[in-house]
Structure 1
Amino acid sequence: MNGTLQNAAPAQDAILTRAAQAGDVSALAQLLERHRPGMRAVAISLLGPGTDVDDVMQDAALVALGRIVDVRDPEAVGPWLRMIVRNSCRTLLRASRRVEPLAQVPLPPDGDTPEQVLQRHALRDWVWEAVEALTPTLRLPVVLRYFSTGITSYQQIAQACGIPVGTVRSRLNQARAALAQALTATAATAHDDALRRTQASWLEAHETLAAAERGEFGKVVRDRYSREVSLLAAGERLGGADLLLAGMDGDLSAGVRQRPLNVTAGRSLVVWEMELLNPPDDPDHCPPGVAWIMTLDGGRFDRVSLYHAARPQAASSPAAS
């Protein structure tokens, strides 16, 4: 009898995994519930009891959602889920400070981002529909943490949003709970084509930069941005369209160019992550990168928050003898 039950468990896992890969919400929920004790045991064994365990479990559930299609052996989904938890815990333990529950979201072995994984299977549109159902306050930290490539840590999100790290942690905890409900609520509804929207945003980012180099950034701002657009940094309003134009003109005049590295595009929130290319004669003019975090209202960008990547730390000089 015991042997029969042991054989039935992997078979049931395989059925649920294949259903989840096809977009069945309840199947994924059942998988996580079936393996929750084992996943939690791994987290406790590595981290000890505490709030970090809950954070890792929540993150692991969202990572599993984005990567369930990558499971090649559906009968081995249990070890796969525990591996996600183990990797998350090890990332946390490597962090120099325990303020952040997870330094970065674990990525698939091939280096794809969660967004790139979601683009490859049917769950992507459903996930984005659920993200859009979140309030703007909760949506922004979720999108940055799980879909950006350079603003994933709690400290980076805090800097980009101009809020304390503790507030980031609180909002992500609320967002994960709300997202679970939103996923269930939107499972049977029609979903936009997230891949097509992202491809269009990639094109728009390139065209925007090309227009700026032709001296036509003002036309782009008139066509695509609200008249009352706000330019922000660290949550503080710096100015409006005039400052946006002046900033772009100043960078171009200094020989600085931008190159899109990653685009995340929802109906109400778009993130363009750019590499900043400094002129050869002034290699330290700008930080290595900037993210344009933009919200939309009525199809126009009404808020542009800029987040600059940290400059590489200079090598410490040798001690005097």
Structure 2
Amino acid sequence: MTHSDADLVVLAQAGDAGALGVLLARHEAGMRAVALSLLGYGPDAEDAVQDAMVVAVRRIGEVRDPAAVAPWLRTIVRNNARMTLRGPRPVPVAEPEWFTPPSTTPTPEEALDRTALRDWVWHAVGQLSESDRLVTLLRYFSDASSYEQIAAVCGVPVGTVRSRLSHARRALAGGLRTSSASAYADSTAADDARWREGRDMIDTAMRGDFDRVVREHWWPDAEMIVPGGRRGGRDLAVRGMNGDLEAGVRQRLRNVVSSGNVLIWETDLLSPPDDPEHCPPAALWLQQLYQGRVWRFTLFHPLPARV
């Protein structure tokens, strides 16, 4: 039996990844036509379509009129294309009339929390290679979401970022198309544990004992990288944190994203009242793990979103 668009949306909102895959395959040609009309033939048009598919996974639960899902998908692509024409910006989130807006703007992680597809998504992300998984987490679940910022964090050319993202999105889309009603591990407990761990470590650091955090959770030969700046080991990280504390800077954990051996913390940086411009407003901690301990730490300050 061939399901209608409305039927597929209802099934997808109930957690059926396969139904969402059928829906996206059905409307892929129309989505691509919109991208081509605005961007012409080339990688930007394909990026706009693939990004829209990932956005749809996150936001399918917000569609209020399931029968109107086709224009909803095309609107996402159109917004993606327009943002590409305007220049580098964070990942777009379409807001056409057919979806129910949340009372407050959610983070990508919070948006995913509200969908029944959450466990499927994290299972699928976990199946990616580590390099593809890293750019995917940065693109869709962090503030360092532009190609240029991802390239800086990863230390690779923008073209490599595009290639890895394209490969990852094809894998995710293929997984949707072949998915069945399989059961996937509940990711909530693992996420809760990562949040508790992150809060405990940041609290310990704010009390002036970041050295203990590093000793207990980093490998002795761990490397610290500041893109475009310093490189060093554990001592560099401890000196940097202690220097910030002495200057009156504090950090507050805002977001935690993890999959496999990739762990990302995003923090708000709070400058001292007498020097409000002392530091950037936010920091991204990229922690690459081996056997549960940090072997490489990258500290990055995302650029504020353009408006």
TM-score, normalised with respect to structure 2:
0.87
- Indicate the residue corresponding to 2:118 in structure 1: 124
Match of 1:279 among 252, 272, 290: 272
Does residue 141 of structure 1 match 2:128? no
Q: Which residue of 2 aligns with 1:316?
A: none
Q: Give the equivalent residue in structure 2 for 1:219.
A: 212
Pairwise CA RMSD of aligned residues?
Answer: 2.6
Match of 1:105 in 2: 91
Do the aligned residues in 1 keep the contact of 2:18 with 2:179 (CA within 8 Å)?
Answer: no
Q: What is the one-letter code of the residue matched to 2:84? A: L
**What is the deviation of 1:182?**
4.8
Matches within 5 A, 1:19-30: 19-30=11-22
Aligned partner (choices 6, 9, 22) of residue 14 of structure 1? 6
Deviations 1:263-283 (A, max 9, x none): 212232111111111123333
The one-letter code sitting in structure 1 at the alignment partner of 2:37 is S
What residue number does 2:98 align with? none
Greater C-alpha radius of gyration: 1
Over 6 Å off, 4+ runs: none
Tell me if the contact between 2:21 and 2:176 (Cα under 8 Å) persists in the aligned partners: no
Relative contact order (alpha carbons < 8 A, sep ≥ 6): 1 or 2 greater? 2
Question: Secondary structure of the residue that 1:301 maps to in structure 2?
Answer: strand
Q: What stretches of structure 2 of length at least 5 have no aligned partner?
A: 96-100
Question: What is the CA–CA distance in structure 2 between the aligned matches of 1:312 and 1:147, rounded to whole Å?
Answer: 14
Do 1:162 and 1:235's aligned partners in 2 also have CA atoms closer than 8 Å?
A: no
Which of 197, 201, 208 does residue 194 from structure 2 map onto? Answer: 201
Please say if residues 256 and 263 of structure 2, whose CA atoms lie closer than 8 Å, have aligned partners that are also in contact.
yes
Q: Distance in 1 between matches of 2:201 and 2:43?
A: 44
Cross-structure match for 2:227: 234
Query: 2:109 maps to what in 1?
Result: 115
> What residue identity is the alignment partner of 1:231?
M
**Partners of 1:84 and 1:310 in 2: CA distance:** 23
State the identity as a percent.
Answer: 50
Query: TM-score, normalized by length of structure 1?
Result: 0.83
Verify the 8 A CA contact 2:20 2:176 in the aligned structure 1: no
- What is the identity, as a one-letter code, of the residue corresponding to 2:28? R
* Gap runs ≥5 in structure 1: 1-7, 314-321
**Secondary structure of 1:252's partner?**
helix
Q: Cα offset for 1:119?
A: 0.9
Indicate if the aligned counterparts of 1:162 and 1:233 stay in contact, CA closer than 8 A: no
